[in-house]
Amino acid sequence: MTSASPSRTLARLQARLRGQVGKAIEDFRMIGPGDRVMVCLSGGKDSYTLLDILLSLQRSAPVEFELLAVNLDQKQPGFPEHVLPEYLTSLGVPFHIIEQDTYSVVKRVIPEGRTLCGLCSRLRRGALYRFAAENGITKIALGHHRDDIVGTLFLNLFFGGRLKAMAPKLLSEDGRQIVIRPLAYVAERDIERYARGRQFPIIPCRLCGSQDNLQRVAVKRMLADWERAYPGRTESIFSALRHVELGHLADPRHFDFAALDEQRIRTMTLDEEESLIAAATASR
């Protein structure tokens, strides 16, 4: 018996990704009829995969929606600015390149040796949100996957003292944009395999991605070690994010602990009434 050909293997992988992305879109009502979806394309494996799967779903989706690929050219030294326009043109995908020199701002503001990603992310988000508001975008699609969501949970847990991850769908801080993460159910290892199989023209991030001392890198390494020792742990942690028991945590803002006393009294009263009724019925 021969093994499956690379094309058949890739087709099966694509089918699985389509299923996972489709389920996330359905579970969180990410895309509706007439939506104009801006796919934020960085040139990395995640955003390429996101665009590719959304294009595939668009062709067979029961509702019509638009896709617009948008890249922010941050003017990083050596950035191959021709790659994305050539790739998107070859696909026939509508796209727009925003040119904004955030690289110089980040390098000027952040001291040498400090993490650049925080400010870089804020500047990038601001530029993309501004474009969305000015161009009738109803949904902003980001390429964060399941492992990013779990990693963010531990970043906030270890370094921020908060039980918080990435929402698959959220309202932006200014209340003007809906942000969606259609890859929320997809494992990073599957994205890596898919990107290799599709031979996307990957553009590495030399501004943020080259920093080896980032907290996110440490958390990612920790999760990878766990996954090797206990396969399926990342999936289990993500499942926990979808099955939250607020009454078994400790945040009085999100669970009314004081009401438990009233609930106990009501329960006791109901029990007493039922006992009285039962006794009266038995004496007849």
Summarised one tens digit per residue, pLDDT across range 202-245 is: 998 765 545 555 788 899 999 999 999 999 999 999 999 999 99
C-alpha–C-alpha distance, residues 280 and 248, integer Å: 39
β-strand pairing of 178-180 with 169-171: antiparallel
- Domain 6-244 bears CATH identifier 3.40.50.620: yes
% of the chain residues with pLDDT over 70:
86
pTM of this prediction? 0.86
Share of the chain above pLDDT 90, in %: 66
pLDDT at 119: 65
Q: Which residues contact 143 (CB under 8 A, 6 or more apart)?
A: 40, 42, 44, 46, 47, 49, 50, 181, 183
Tokens of 39: 């796919």
According to the model, what pLDDT value does residue 100 have? 81
pLDDT digits (tens, 9 = 90+) for 28-57: 999 999 999 999 999 999 999 999 999 999
pLDDT tier, 140 (very low <50, low <70, confident <90, very high otherwise) = very high
* CB distance 35 to 68 below 8 Å: no
For the segment 239-280, what is each residue's pLDDT rounded down to a tens digit?
A: 999 999 999 999 999 999 999 888 888 887 776 666 766 666
Predicted confidence (pLDDT) per residue in 106-138, tens digit? 777 766 666 666 667 788 888 899 999 999 999
Q: What pLDDT, on a 0 to 100 scale, did the predictor assign at position 1?
A: 39
Neighbours of 166 (CB within 10 A): 20
Question: In whole angstroms, what separates CA 267 from the centre of its chain?
Answer: 42
